[in-house]
């Protein structure tokens, strides 16, 4: 595919537990992003990274944290999962930021019960 994989693809977890989603790329792209997709809301940016150890918040960052210790890996952590975080999570990568488009992973469907 495009050299971006997300794991796990599906996860069910209980309210209050921590959850970590992983995004791995083999493209050596500088920029990486985490989005969530919900019906009626489209894709909303959670956090993004513009280099190793360089991250910033998006529009819906509350309850989420990220880490990027290597170029190829971008981790999204839900510190204490809530039902409102039930969603499909997508990771994306890009070469130079927004101008040339993003390559998305296949997504992680997370259910918090």
Partner 1 sequence: TQLLEQSPQFLSIQEGENLTVYCNSSSVFSSLQWYRQEPGEGPVLLVTVVTGGEVKKLKRLTFQFGDARKDSSLHITAAQPGDTGLYLCAGESSNTGKLIFGQGTTLQVKP
Give the bridge partners for 33, in sequence order.
48, 92
Site for partner 1 in 52-71 (CB under 8 A): 58
State both tokens at 29.
């792209």
Nearer to partner 1, 13 or 103 (CB): 103
Nearer to partner 1, 55 or 107 (CB): 107
In whole angstroms, the minimum distance from the beta carbon of 5 to partner 1 comes to 11
Distances (CA, A) of 5 to 25, 74, 106: 6, 11, 7
Q: Site residues (CB under 8 A) for partner 1?
A: 40-45, 48, 58, 90, 92, 97-107
């Amino acid at each position: 595919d495009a050299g971006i994989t997300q794991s796990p693809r599906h996860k069910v977890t209980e309210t209050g537990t921590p959850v970590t989603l992983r995004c791995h790329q083999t493209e050596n792209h500088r920029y990486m992003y985490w989005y969530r997709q919900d019906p009626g809301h489209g894709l909303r940016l959670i956090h993004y990274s513009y280099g190793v150890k360089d991250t910033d918040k998006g529009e819906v960052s509350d309850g989420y944290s990220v880490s990027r210790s290597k170029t190829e890996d971008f981790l999204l952590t839900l510190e204490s999962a809530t039902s409102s975080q039930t969603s499909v999570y997508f990771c994306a990568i890009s070469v130079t930021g927004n101008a040339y488009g993003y390559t998305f992973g296949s997504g992680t469907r997370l259910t918090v019960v």
